[in-house]
């Protein structure tokens, strides 16, 4: 089992809809969780992080964390074509060194 699992997609949603991206993980010791967005041919950029159970909202983005069930999700409200990208889930490695463990990413396509 991979440490961080994501559906590779593509996840296709119409413009204006809510896109829901999910991620499950196996390291119960992880305390921090991140979502990176990566446009084709570009490097990943951090868009959200969450440390506590529950929801965290930032503009159109909401990160949700459930440590008991070991999943983290990202909701994008009012999806725009410019949101089309690959979204990488990452968790902070509990063994130190500030390492991140990345999932393979979910490709999101928002169509007009």
- Using CB under 8 A, list all residues that contact other proteins: 8, 32, 34, 42-46, 49, 88, 92, 97-100, 102-105
- The dihedral over CA atoms of 50, 54, 58, 60, expressed in degrees to the nearest 10, equals 120
| Alpha carbon distances (Å) from 99 to 30, 36, 89 | 11, 15, 13
Q: Which is nearer to other proteins, 17 or 49 (CB)?
A: 49
Quote the least distance from Cβ 104 to other proteins, whole Å.
4
Sign of the dihedral defined by the CA atoms of residues 25, 27, 28, 33, in that order: negative
């Amino acid at each position: 089992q991979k440490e961080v699992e994501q559906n590779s997609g593509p996840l296709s949603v119409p413009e204006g809809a809510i896109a829901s991206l999910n991620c499950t993980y196996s390291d119960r010791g992880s305390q921090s969780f991140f979502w990176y967005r990566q446009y084709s041919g570009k490097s990943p950029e951090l868009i959200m992080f969450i440390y506590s159970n529950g929801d965290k909202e930032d503009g159109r983005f909401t990160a949700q964390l459930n440590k008991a069930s070991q999943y983290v999700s990202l909701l994008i409200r009012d999806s725009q074509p410019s949101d089309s990208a690959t979204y990488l889930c990452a968790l902070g490695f509990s063994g130190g060194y500030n390492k991140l463990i990345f999932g393979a990413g979910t490709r999101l396509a928002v169509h007009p």
